[in-house]
Chain A
């Protein structure tokens, strides 16, 4: 929104006013730098870093709009407009994979954060120090298990012939279940694995936030006769809100991206399951395998980025109205 406003301002105002306001801004800016030069210096390394490592390569995203020719380079290749986006529309799958991606990511985001908060609170509340430390470490373990191995384990659990679950079912006298042909069940399995692998890591942030809450507040509440649940509900949760909003805003930017490893290793080539489990990244991977085509991949990336940008700008503006302190910018 900021950018659209800027562009409008640049285009619509008269030139004279334009120059005047630029000069005014520049003057203010220079004055501010002089006054707060230490702050500027402190933030400078970060600015330089992102300028070099993020903004300088960024124009390369233009590759999404050309017919990339190695010899001619990105900017020398022929411009083809939106042609690289065509393949998304040809099979009519675009709506389905976008819907899948958004739904999964929303569930991951909200349910994931919920689990992280709940476990962080629970671990903070239990008294035994050893239990706290050990359980934190154990819950972090899944983060280290690569998705490839998770895929193996999953196959060992669910396969029809000798999978762990089917062996138990057969042993108890129940009929075996064909997990790998069952479309409905995988969304639960996938969400489970995502939460299982992400809770330990995400929980750390909330633990640290809880650690920052002053103890006097809790004591005052106890003196007022508050029960533990009430303390959690009225003190802990509200204190965690800014962090949660921050993490959700960040998550929204990537709403169309991510988790390729998870989906690819759990579902892989099992096309029977695709209607329920195909997401944009896996779809694109399959479309481009066998072809040498950077441009089409970049085009999809562009689509994901623009979507995320619009979403974040919108939600950020809303958050700014409700809780101005928690907005990203």
Chain B
């Protein structure tokens, strides 16, 4: 069903305002990204002497050549990231949506206590050392791919969002299914999940984004280069961070060989590109009116 468009004047003005505001903001978001892309095609000399430009004087592919020299490793890093993203998202969505369902059930006596139990973990944490020891000594996950999947698998924020979305699904659906004799899991799986498409898409997108950006756990736990995820792999190529500190300690590094500014830009482009292409596919779930028909039926 489509929204009936009352083409009143006020509506037209409102829409024009909206289009304008959105465009202005979108341009401010696009501009830096474009700058990054064009700068990745610049030669290092030009960047150093004249800064980033939208229209470079000379186009140079040296940054990309450098990155793709390592093609097999880069490809591998993509594979690792895709694996942890898919695994983590599928399992995470499954477990978290179940939890969201349970927490939104008003007849579940302990939902407040469990909510607090989950929420409390966002406030207090043991810190790096105990967590590290849990993963490495306690669970033996050093250098294991699971050390990148597990940390982000479930997040309190997503669980609460899930619960929030599910609360908006009308109770009448639950009641009628209950009367028909369905148990909670069936109701969850056959009724709530199809209706929660928008929320699954949202949380799923967030999970994927989180795993896509994963580098910290790789830094802590992964040693085999073949298991490096994309962001960490790219970061290592660009690393110059501690060179200055080392020099202050009296060590000498031949900095002439270190990658240049254009490579920093190129890695940023490579890191972002694919995921932005994913977003349009997910957007179709944010279309209004998914619950229509369910209540009427």
Contact = CB atoms under 8 A, between A and B. Distances in A.
Given A156-B52, A301-B127, A46 B119 contact: no
Interface stretch (A94-102, A183-191, A202-210): A202-210
A266 interface: no
A215 interface: yes
A298 B129 CA distance: 11
A253 B122 contact: yes
Contacts of A253: 119, 122-123
B264 A39 contact: no
B242 interface: no
A204 B25 CA distance: 16
Interface string A27-38: 011001000101
B111 to A, nearest CB: 8
Interface residues of B, number: 104
Nearest to B284: A133
A149 to B, nearest CB: 6
A122 B151 CA distance: 36
Contacts of B8: 227-228
A208 B165 contact: yes
Contacts, number: 263
Given A53-B150, A216-B292, A222-B6, A42 B121 contact: no
Interface stretch (B71-79, B219-227, B275-283): B275-283
B179 interface: no
Interface residues on A, range: 35 or more
A275 interface: no
Interface of A is mostly: helix
Contact of B29 (A60, A122, A196): A196
B86 interface: no
B271 interface: yes
B52 A139 contact: no
B191 interface: no
B234 to A, nearest CB: 10
A57 B131 contact: yes
A196 B28 contact: yes
Interface string A78-117: 0000000000000000000000000000000000000000
B11 interface: yes
Nearest to A156: B51
A47 interface: yes
B178 interface: no
Nearest to B150: A53
Given A162-B51, A211-B288, A229-B10, A32 B276 contact: no
Contacts of B107: 36
A138 B29 contact: yes
A248 interface: no
B243 interface: no
A45 B98 contact: yes
B108 A126 contact: no
Q: What are the 8 A-B residue pairs with the smallest beta carbon separation, nearest first?
A: A60-B130, A60-B126, A57-B126, A57-B130, A54-B121, A329-B115, A46-B99, A42-B98
Given A132-B283, A294-B129, 7 more contacts: A39-B184, A43-B102, A49-B154, A50-B154, A50-B156, A57-B133, A201-B209
Interface of B: 1, 3-6, 8, 10-11, 14-15, 18-19, 21-23, 25-26, 28-30, 32-33, 35-36, 51-52, 95-96, 98-99, 101-103, 105, 107-110, 112-131, 133-134, 138, 150-151, 153-154, 156-157, 159-161, 164-165, 167-168, 183-185, 188, 198-199, 201-202, 205-206, 209, 264-265, 268, 271-272, 275-276, 279-280, 283, 285-292, 295
18 contacts: A36-B184, A42-B102, A46-B118, A47-B117, A60-B126, A61-B124, A119-B25, A122-B18, A126-B15, A139-B26, A153-B35, A156-B52, A196-B28, A209-B168, A222-B6, A227-B10, A229-B10, A329-B116
